[in-house]
Structures are given as structure tokens and as C-alpha cells.
Structure 1
Amino acid sequence: MNYADTVQDLSPALTALRLLAVDFAQLPAPTERISPIVPKELDLSLHGDLGAFEPWRAALGIAREDIDFHTQGDGQTWVLCADTDYAGARVTLYAYGDVLRRTLTLVGGCHAA
């Protein structure tokens, strides 16, 4: 693994972030993570709004079939995740949102008059 020793070593991820900020300034603001442990990776996280994932997915050119969907937190949180190469970096897009629960109330049953 190649750790970054300088900010310049983070250039792939920083360049991708800069280009995303310019090219897609109108998209919902994500939380960004760049780490010297994985200097060629950029993580974008969207919290509390799964709907914000779709415009980012489309902008990054990620196919719908490449989206991973799972739950976490004892099934209380839905997670969407997908990644792609963009401007020399590996960009991983996450969205987190509450599981949708709908309470069904049966009134009268099947044979109600």
C-alpha cells in the first residue's frame, strides 16, 4: 500500500474533488473523505436523504446495476453504495437513510360488510 507523505501525494483524490465541485456544483453537498492511507480514493457520503444519491450516480456515470443496497444498524438504516473511476481517483458514493416503515391497519378484514 502506498501511503501519502505529502499533500501532493493526495493529488488524484483532490483533483477529482476539485473537478466535481466545478462540474457538478448544483448537486447536493456530500461529506467528503480523503485519506493519506488510500491517497487515490475519494469517498462521498450523503446522510439522511437517499434521493440525493441518484443525481450523483447519474453525474458520475455509474450504472444502476452497479449499486449495492444493504442495511446496517440492526436494519434501521438503508445504505446505497457504488464506485467508479473519475479524474484519476476511485470515487465511492454512499447514501444513508432511515428504513421506510409503513404501518398497515386492517379495518374490518376481508369480509367486512
Structure 2
Amino acid sequence: MTTDTDSRNLTGAQTNAARALLAMVTAFPHLPAPRLRPDVLTPATAEGTHAWGVNVSIHDGLGHFEQWRAALGLDPDAVTAHLDDDFTNWLEVSGTWSGVPVQVIGYFRFTDPGEPQ
């Protein structure tokens, strides 16, 4: 249940995330284009609460994931791998960039060397 005081539901709460998103596009025009969106990230604070941040989703290879992780200064030791039985896999890392929570996700598939690509 949300209330009127729940900041996740206030348009103004998105302002910092939107500014950070614009700053990313401006600061890193040379990087591969990811899908960028303001989003409520969970948990995004040291207290474990939700906060507006920027989700950076990469679908074009793990090299692009690594470029964005490094550009945003996110700790490589904080990267977690999620491996699913249906071959949808992803790497994920969260942190803070310009004072705003960020989450970088790189999707990938393992391929069978015997299967045509």
C-alpha cells in the first residue's frame, strides 16, 4: 500500500534520476547505446529502501556491459551472475553514480557450439 507521503509516487522524486540519465548520455556518447530508464531500484540505499535511480540495460554483449560498468565506476567485485535454465542469463551490478543509484544489467545467452547461430 502506498500513501501520499510515499516519495516513489511523486513525480519530483524522479528528478535526480532523470538528471543522472541525461548526464550519462552527455558524459558517455562514445559508449554503445544501452536502454536507459529512470526506475525504482530495490534496494537502492544503505538502509535497504527503494529509491529512484537509473537502470542501464545492455542486450548487445558482455563487452558493452563491462564498458558501462567501468565508465560508471562500479566495483567489478560487486558484479553478480544470474544463470537460468531457460538460457536467459544476466550480469548485474548496482552502485551510485553522481549521487544517484544505478543498476547495470547485461543480458546474454550461452550458445551450444553445435547449434547454428
Is the contact between residue 55 and residue 102 of structure 2 (CA under 8 Å) also seen in structure 1? yes
Q: CA deviation at 1:36?
A: 6.7
Are 2:8 and 1:3 equivalent residues in the alignment? yes
1:58 is aligned to 70
Please report the RMSD computed on the Cα atoms of aligned residues, expressed in angstroms.
2.1
**Unmatched 5+ residue regions in structure 1?**
104-113
Paired residues for 1:28-67 under 5 Å: 28-35=32-39, 40-67=52-79
Question: For residues 42 and 87 of structure 1, what CA distance do their matches in structure 2 show?
Answer: 11
In structure 2, relative to structure 1, the CA distance for the partners of 1:36 and 1:44 (3 Å cut) is closer
Question: For residues 90 and 39 of structure 2, what CA distance do their matches in structure 1 show?
Answer: 22
Q: Which amino acid aligns with 2:17?
A: A
Identity fraction in percent: 29
User: Of 22, 25, 38, which residue of structure 1 is paired with 2:26?
Assistant: 22
2:93 is aligned to 82
Question: For residues 39 and 65 of structure 2, what CA distance do their matches in structure 1 show?
Answer: 22
Larger radius of gyration: 1
In structure 2, relative to structure 1, the CA distance for the partners of 1:58 and 1:36 (3 Å cut) is closer
Is the contact between residue 74 and residue 95 of structure 2 (CA under 8 Å) also seen in structure 1? yes
Is the contact between residue 46 and residue 53 of structure 1 (CA under 8 Å) also seen in structure 2? yes
* 3-state SS of 1:27 partner: coil
TM-score of the superposed pair, with normalisation by structure 1: 0.76
For these two proteins, the number of residue pairs brought into alignment is 101
In structure 2, relative to structure 1, the CA distance for the partners of 1:69 and 1:87 (3 Å cut) is same
Q: CA deviation at 1:25?
A: 0.9
**Unmatched 5+ residue regions in structure 2?**
1-5, 42-49
